[in-house]
Each structure stands twice: as structure tokens, then as C-alpha cells.
Structure 1
């Protein structure tokens, strides 16, 4: 079987009209090229070039091979160039997964920034729960997923990049009874119902809800839609918990307020998880840098 490299030698000699010029084009020595051609001729069982004092004359077989090999070599060059573009993130499909909470701060700005950096890439965006996203990334059905740290700590072979961290603050409507109460204790918080994006154990432990209170445990509304949560706290005395970053604009505008607590706040961390093969590409580092820059801008 003749390799592409050997075909490249035949085409170069055919085009240059001699071994010396072809060797310069191929960036090898003339003796190396001559020996390689002799090995090919032995392998094929017939001559490819007639050596003359003025150069090398291709045999009919070499003429046929050279003409047929040129489009093959061009196709191979295009194939390798496209493979590099895909590796560099300049072409191909990018499969991103974003959890229901993070979509409020990541979309659509993150996608817009990635598209500006990689205009030739097509995108597939999946929004689902953090556990599902981690599973899809582990199964190689996602290239990069954004999840919170409790999920990111689970054991798997995914590569992790921390995007940002923030304090989880207690949020209420402007004019809430606790707004003027100063720094409050957990008992003060539990006097009011909560509207939460979920009820993970570490959140319920922080609120110090008794485990024998039933599944709701003082939670009047559970929703992964922050618009629904904001509507609930805006129309009632319900409280919610969220990273300050998520509601920074509304807090700065005074539409909603944060309630300071004696107990140190929980920490929220956003991580990007990817299969190892994607994490080795330049796009992994570029996306992580874009996402971090977004949150640096939000947090000043």
C-alpha cells in the first residue's frame, strides 16, 4: 500500500521534473528522496522514473499516479486543515449545557460572546437539571456544562474549571418587615415562608428548618424560574436565597433588598465541567475565560 507521503513524493518529482528540485520542495535531501523512490519501485514491481542527466522522466505509470494523486493530496490537506479548525474551535458543533438557575445569568450573553469569538461554530444549548447535565457530560453527549459546586464535587472523569463564587444572600421585597430589623438570626428568618429554587440539604441545614416539619419545611414555593420567585416575593413577605450576582441589578436599583444575618452566608460556586478530550482543546480555556470575564464585570 502506497502512503500519502509517498504519493506526495511522486507528485513533487513529476511537477519539478527532477529529484533535486523535488527534494528542496519536500525539504528533504536528494539521496533520501532517491532511496525512497527506489523502495517504492521495488514495492510496486515497476519503475516510476527514468533517470537522465537532465532530470527524471516519469514513466506512464508515474504519469497516471501523479495525476490521480493530486486531488487526493488536496483533499487530505483540506481534511487536516478542517480538523485543526475544529480542534481550535473555529468550526463544528459546540454542545453546551446550562442549569435552570444559571441560565438567568449566563444566557443569552454567554452564547453571544462565544459566537463572537468562534463565528464558524454551530451551537446546541441544553437547559436541564445539574445532575442530568453532569450525566450527559460524562456520557460525552455534552462538551461543556455549567453547574453549581455541590454537583461538581461528585466523582467522575470530568475536567473542572471554576467560573465564579459568590455569597448566597437572603432576598426580600423592598419594604419587607425584616428590612429595618438590622442583622437577623435564623429564628427571625423562619418566621416567614420561603420561595426557593430548590431545597438541597445544605440550604435547609443553613436555614435550620427542623427535619420533622415535612417536605415543605416552611417553603411556600419551589421553582427553578427566578421570574416566578421574584413575583412571589414581590407580592408577599416570602424570602428567597440566591447568589447576589443573580439579582445584582434589582438589588442595586432598590427593587429588592438583602437581609443581613448573624450566621455566615453559604457560598455558591459555578463550575464548568467537560470531558477530558474537550478540555484539551483551546475552546475549553476560551469559554472558561469568557464566562469568568462576564462575572468579573458583574461583580465589579
Structure 2
């Protein structure tokens, strides 16, 4: 690749071969123009770099220093070309990923682990935040890809959105609760007991999802307080109330909480979406998206 001047390449060929004829053949040129290029290079440097005689060519001390310095530059240049090409194909570079807290329970660890094995030289910058913040970071081009929630009334202009994971809702009860030995919890009974809900300000998706769940079943839940994960689980463990949470939360396995299936005539599932800008240019994104899709498919096959 022509990163360097003809004069520099001519000098380096002679400096390495110490023979004008061999250097000329190496560069696929005749000897007179090669000699002219080397002389022009010496003139630019301002000092003699070669000692010439009818029988031999030797480097001056300045020539040896120039050869070594130019070799380092050429090595760095080749490395820069290789790096640029690997970044362009998504094999290296920086990838900025965002995810909601609930995505960290099963989808993100599996996908990121697989991606790091496949693309070990890509530097991953990861941000955990609520969906509203992730959406803003994508809009500001401060994230390349995000795993987040989405509702029909959410603004998604300029974003590609696709579901990558869906899971059932389950009931979280204090471990020593009278219902903890049951096989499932009917939603009618659940609505009549004290519940801990999701705060609208920080968990708008789950707040809306649970409101829809109870409304579709013609019920009004008895919320005694609202919180966010994982604090919500600590409140359940303390016996303040039960909660309806995504099934993957059960993988946290806190000692004082029991998870049971929710029985309802009209059920809903929580869904995670893969999101990235439609005009995004980071070539490292597609491979991570594929890892997320595979992780989501595997998670749904298991549970």
C-alpha cells in the first residue's frame, strides 16, 4: 500500500540490500531512476546516507539511524493498516452497549460471553440504565446497541427494534408465606393481597405491563408500595407484600423469596428488544446482534 514516498522506499530498498542492482530488481525498476530517487531523498534529509564506490554501498552512521527509524515507521504503518481493516470488518474497535437491569439476569451475560469469544479484540463499553435513558443515549449516538423494553407508545424514530427475548411473569412471595407450597397462584387471589409494584418513574414498562395484566383480568391490585428491582425483592423477602416479576428474576435465587407460576385467564409476557440506530455505522454491531438473537432463542427454548 502506497503510504510512503517513492524516495523513501528507494532508500529503504538500497539500505536493506546494500546493492543498487538488487534493490532495483526488488522494486521492479531500472537502476538509474533508483539512484536518482535515493539522491533526492538524501537531499531532502540534508546529510549523506550512503557511501558509494564502484564495488560496494555502505550506510553512513546517519544512514543506519535513518534506516532503523524508517523501519519502525513502516512497521507501525503496516500495523495501522491491519488495525483499520480489522475495525472496518468488526473484528476490533470499540462497541458501546446498553442494557436494562432485567436484561442482565440471563440474556446479556450469555450473549456477551459468546461475543467476546468470537470477537476478543473488540473493546466492549457497557452501560446499565432504564429504557428511557438508553433510548436517549442511542439518539445521541452515545450507544451503538441496546437491550431494552418497548411499548407501543414509546418513541422509536430512527431506531431498529426487534424482540429478542420473551418470558412469563411469575409471583414472588416471602419464603415462609402460607402460599409458598402451592404449585401456582391464581391472579384473583393475588390481587386481593398486599402487593409491591414497579415505580412508574423508573420502571415504566413493568408498571404499564402489570396495569394491563390486572385490567385485562378485570381486577384492581392492592399496591402497598412501589419500588425497583432488585430492591423490590428485598421488600418481598421482608414480608411487606408479594410481587409480579419477569421469570428470569428467579435466577437470582435470593434465599428469602419463593417464585411461583401466575395463573390467569389473560396472561402477558415481558419482552426485551434489541435496538440500534438505523443509520448506525459501527461494523462491530451485527455480530453482537446475532449473539443476542441466539441467546434469546436459547433462553426461550429452555424456559
TM range (shorter): 0.5 to 0.7
Q: Which has the higher helix share?
A: 1
Report whether the alignment pairs 1:247 with 2:254.
no
Q: Is the 8 A contact 1:194 1:221 kept in 2?
A: yes
Gaps of 5+ in 2: 45-54
Report whether the alignment pairs 1:207 with 2:214.
yes
Rate the CA distance shift 1:5–1:194 in 2: closer, same or farther, 3 A: farther
Rate the CA distance shift 1:225–1:199 in 2: closer, same or farther, 3 A: same
Q: Is the 8 A contact 2:95 2:124 kept in 1?
A: yes
Pairing of 1:134-153 with structure 2 (within 5 A): 134-150=135-151
Gaps of 5+ in 1: 47-53
Distance (whole Å) between structure 2 residues aligned to residue 84 and residue 155 of structure 1? 32
- Could you say which residue in structure 1 is the equivalent of 2:276? 273
Rate the CA distance shift 1:208–1:23 in 2: closer, same or farther, 3 A: farther
Shift of 1:208: 1.9
Rate the CA distance shift 1:257–1:63 in 2: closer, same or farther, 3 A: closer
Shift of 1:240: 0.8
Distance (whole Å) between structure 1 residues aligned to residue 23 and residue 281 of structure 2? 38
**Alignment TM-score, normalising by the size of structure 2:** 0.63
Count of residue correspondences: 278
- Could you say which residue in structure 2 is the equivalent of 1:191? 192
**Alignment TM-score, normalising by the size of structure 1:** 0.63
Deviations along 1:40-60, whole A, 9 cap, x unmatched? Answer: 9999999xxxxxxx9x999xx
Shift of 1:64: 9.3
- Could you say which residue in structure 1 is the equivalent of 2:48? none
Distance (whole Å) between structure 2 residues aligned to residue 249 and residue 34 of structure 1? 77
Shift of 1:133: 1.8
Q: Is the 8 A contact 2:24 2:34 kept in 1?
A: no
Report whether the alignment pairs 1:257 with 2:264.
no
Q: Secondary structure at the match of 2:224?
A: strand
Distance (whole Å) between structure 1 residues aligned to residue 288 and residue 259 of structure 2? 31
Shift of 1:109: 5.2
